[in-house]
Every structure is written in C-alpha cells, then in structure tokens.
C-alpha cells in the first residue's frame, strides 16, 4: 500500500515537473531565438550556425530553469493532492508523511545529480562552443558583401548602411549612410559607393561618390550640409571577444586549480545550482501544504517568490566573492543554509505555533 502511494505521488510530481519544464523551456527558447536572430542580423551571421547557437544557448540556461520547474512542479502536484483532500485521506489512514515525501526528495536528488553534470561539464563546454561559433560568425560576417535593399549595421550599431541596388562588380547605387560620433549624427546620401574591407576585417570603408552629407546634433537647429564628389567613411569594428579568457567558458578542472576570486566565484556558482535544485525540492514539500478552503494554486506565487529571492541571493553572493567582499571559503553555502532553515521553519513552525497557543495554563 505504501509503495503504491509513493509511486502515485511520484508520478503526479514528475508529470507536473515535466509540464512546468516544458512551459519554461518554450519561454526560454522564444527569448533565445529572438536574441540570436537579432545578433545574427546585426553581425551577418551565416545561416548554418544560427540553429546551433540557439541550441547551445538553451543548454547554458537550462541549469536555471530545472530548479524552478522542479519547485513549481512539486508545489503544483501537492497543491492538487491537498486541495482534493487526497493527502488528508492518506494521512488519516495512518500513512506516514515520509512515505509520500521521501520519493520526492529522491527525485530532487536525482535531478540535482543530473544538473551537476550540466553545470560542471556540459554548460561550460556549450559556452565555449557558443562563443567560438559567435566569434567565427562575426569574423565571417565582416567580409560579407552588402545586400541590396537591406540595412546593415556596423560597429555595434553606430553606423548603418543601406544600398538600393548592388551591381555584379560590387558597386552600390542610391546609398544611405548614417554614422554616430558622440552626440553628432552624420547622414550621407550618394548615387554610388564602394565597400571595402581591410585584410583583418577591423576596418570597413565606404567610399561615396556624388552626394550630400548632413551633420548635426539631433534636436539642434544648427547643422551643416556639404556636397561632395568623393567622400570616404571609415568604420572601425569592435574587437572580437577572446573566448579563452571568459570565465564561463573555462572547464571546471581549470577553475579548481585557480586561486583568482573571479574564477572561484564561477566555480561556486556551478556548484550552487545543483544544490539549489535539491534544496528547493525539500523546501517545496512544506511550502505546498494548503490550509482548508485554499485554492489549488494558492502557493504557486509564494514558490516563485522563494525562487527569485534564492537566485538573487546566489547572484549577489557570486559578485561578493568576485570582489572579495566575502571570503571564498564561505562561498555560497550560507544561501543554502538560509534556505534549509526556511524549509525547517515551514515544516515545524505551524506545529510549534499551535503548541504555544494551546499549551496548558500554569496553576
């Protein structure tokens, strides 16, 4: 009987967890697709790397989605059991709470173990691959020719070029160029232009012929108009990010051998996420208990608040380790300890309050 109840509760929790994870991953996928497509349009990424960048981006952030999905899934499942009085019926029949709670804790431990493999091995490798692909795509995009009828951004969006037509020999026709230098905006219109790239791709040059240039500060009545027969617009491209020096792309073994606070902060973060997953699974058990006449989803908002506070404390602790505000040995363990004490207060608080309220009066 107890095994049947344990399997039943575990099935309910797993079903709710998979549902929550699916919803969260879809939301994450939408944001990741939008970010990758925006970056690809700005830097002219080859189309072959876009899908791979989306996959690697989702893999990097799944370590944040899994704990939240597990927390919401447990609260959702137990909220239904409490609301439909199934928990009350089971406990009234003499079933010990451990029979129902232990399988969930085991599930949390299994998910945390799988998440540890993601945060310690897969996510750093995915970050390294994503940054490498992005840098290669940026370098390839610098040498990509301008396309007719499309706006092309250069230099982080500080320069924009548009050509109505592109001849087979590369000559641009009816060209629009906008460049921002501080508060001054330059707009040039030309009938023809040529686009050249330096050998290393660091400088893009737009040479305009037979056109006008407008220069001024937006909102100011003062501006200059110049006619030119030939005008050269140099555009310096930002340096490509070095993948090797990015802490998030470093393998965990390299972080273990380091003594730099910024690298140790990343190591603590990678260890903290699986621990958070297990701690949240434990916190969800007392958190999901409903009072009589409470709605099925009454504790969902509280679970979201707990997750947000937990993650923000971890982020703050990571920054404090990086800056040397707190010792590395303390790490992020204090956040997990605070969450464990919160779970203990949720579990024992109501019974302790009832005991204090109804304790016999002294005679």
Is pTM, for the whole model, over 0.75? no
Residues 113 and 91 in one domain: yes
Residues 267 and 225 in one domain: no
Residue 101 forms part of a structural domain: yes
Residue after which a domain boundary falls, among 236, 261, 286:
236
Residue 147 forms part of a structural domain: no
Indicate whether 84 pLDDT > 60.
yes
Question: pLDDT by residue (tens digit) across 12-37?
Answer: 888 888 888 888 888 888 888 887 77
Residue 241 forms part of a structural domain: no
Give the model's pLDDT for residue 180. Answer: 82
Residues 317 and 270 in one domain: yes
Average model confidence (pLDDT) across the chain? 81
Residue after which a domain boundary falls, among 213, 236, 259:
236
Residues 29 and 176 in one domain: no
Give the C-alpha separation, 242 to 188, whole Å. Answer: 34
Phi and psi at 47, nearest 5°, equal -65, -25
268 versus 32: the higher-pLDDT residue is 268
Residues 256 and 334 in one domain: yes
Residue 50 in tokens: 């876009």
Give the model's pLDDT for residue 1. Answer: 54
Mean pLDDT of 268-282: 91
Residue 145 forms part of a structural domain: no
Indicate whether 363 pLDDT > 60.
no
Residues 85 and 231 in one domain: no
Packing angle of the helix pair 50-83, 261-287 (nearest 10 deg): 30
Residues 194 and 96 in one domain: no
Residues 129 and 265 in one domain: yes
Indicate whether 47 pLDDT > 80.
no
Mean pLDDT of 222-246: 76
Residue 93 forms part of a structural domain: yes
Residue 144 forms part of a structural domain: no
Residues 127 and 261 in one domain: yes
Indicate whether 296 pLDDT > 70.
yes
Residue 193 forms part of a structural domain: yes
Packing angle of the helix pair 50-83, 123-142 (nearest 10 deg): 140
Residues 253 and 329 in one domain: yes
Work out how many domains the chain is built from and give that number.
Answer: 2
Give the confidence band of 115 by pLDDT, cuts at 50, 70, 90: very high
Domain ranges, residue 320: 2-139+248-352
Residue after which a domain boundary falls, among 214, 236, 258:
236
Residues 181 and 112 in one domain: no
Give the model's pLDDT for residue 269. Answer: 92
Give the C-alpha separation, 244 to 249, whole Å. Answer: 7
357 versus 330: the higher-pLDDT residue is 330
Residue 40 forms part of a structural domain: yes
Q: Which of 118, 125, 134 is nearest to 269 (CA)?
A: 118
Give the confidence band of 116 by pLDDT, cuts at 50, 70, 90: very high
Question: pLDDT by residue (tens digit) across 147-188?
Answer: 777 777 776 667 788 888 888 877 888 888 888 877 888 888
Question: pLDDT by residue (tens digit) across 177-198?
Answer: 888 877 888 888 888 888 877 7
Give the model's pLDDT for residue 268. Answer: 92
Indicate whether 140 pLDDT > 90.
no
Residues 253 and 134 in one domain: yes
């Amino acid at each position: 009987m107890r095994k049947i109840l344990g399997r039943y509760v575990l099935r309910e929790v797993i079903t709710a967890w998979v549902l929550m994870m699916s919803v969260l991953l879809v939301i994450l996928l939408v944001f990741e697709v939008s970010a990758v497509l925006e970056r690809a349009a700005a830097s002219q990424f080859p189309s072959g790397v876009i899908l791979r960048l989306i996959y690697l981006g989702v893999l990097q952030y799944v370590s944040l989605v899994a704990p939240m999905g597990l927390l919401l899934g447990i609260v959702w499942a137990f909220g239904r059991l409490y609301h439909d009085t199934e928990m009350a019926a089971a406990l009234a029949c003499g079933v010990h709470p451990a029979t129902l709670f232990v399988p969930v804790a085991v599930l949390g431990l299994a998910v945390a173990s799988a998440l540890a493999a993601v945060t310690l091995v897969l996510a750093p490798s995915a970050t390294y691959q994503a940054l490498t692909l992005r840098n290669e795509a940026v370098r390839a995009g610098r040498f990509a020719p301008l396309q007719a009828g499309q706006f092309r951004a250069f230099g982080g969006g500080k320069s924009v070029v548009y050509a109505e037509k592109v001849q087979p020999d590369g000559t641009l026709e009816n060209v629009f160029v906008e460049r921002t230098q501080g508060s001054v905006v330059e707009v040039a219109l030309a009938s023809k232009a040529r686009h050249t790239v330096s050998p290393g791709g660091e400088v893009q040059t737009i040479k305009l012929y037979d056109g006008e240039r407008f220069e001024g500060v937006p909102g100011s009545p003062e501006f200059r108009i110049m006619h030119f027969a030939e005008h050269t617009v140099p555009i310096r491209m930002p340096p490509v990010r070095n993948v090797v020096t990015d802490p998030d792309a470093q393998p965990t073994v390299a972080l273990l051998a380091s003594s730099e606070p910024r690298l140790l902060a990343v190591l603590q973060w990678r260890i903290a996420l699986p621990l958070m997953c297990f701690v949240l699974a434990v916190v969800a058990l007392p958190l999901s208990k409903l009072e009589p006449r409470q709605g099925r989803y009454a504790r969902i908002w509280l679970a979201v608040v707990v997750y947000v506070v937990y993650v923000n404390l971890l982020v703050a602790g990571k920054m404090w380790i990086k800056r040397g505000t707190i010792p590395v040995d303390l790490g992020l363990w204090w956040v997990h300890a605070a969450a464990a004490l919160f779970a203990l207060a949720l579990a024992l608080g109501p019974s302790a309050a009832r005991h204090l309220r109804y304790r016999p009066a002294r005679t």
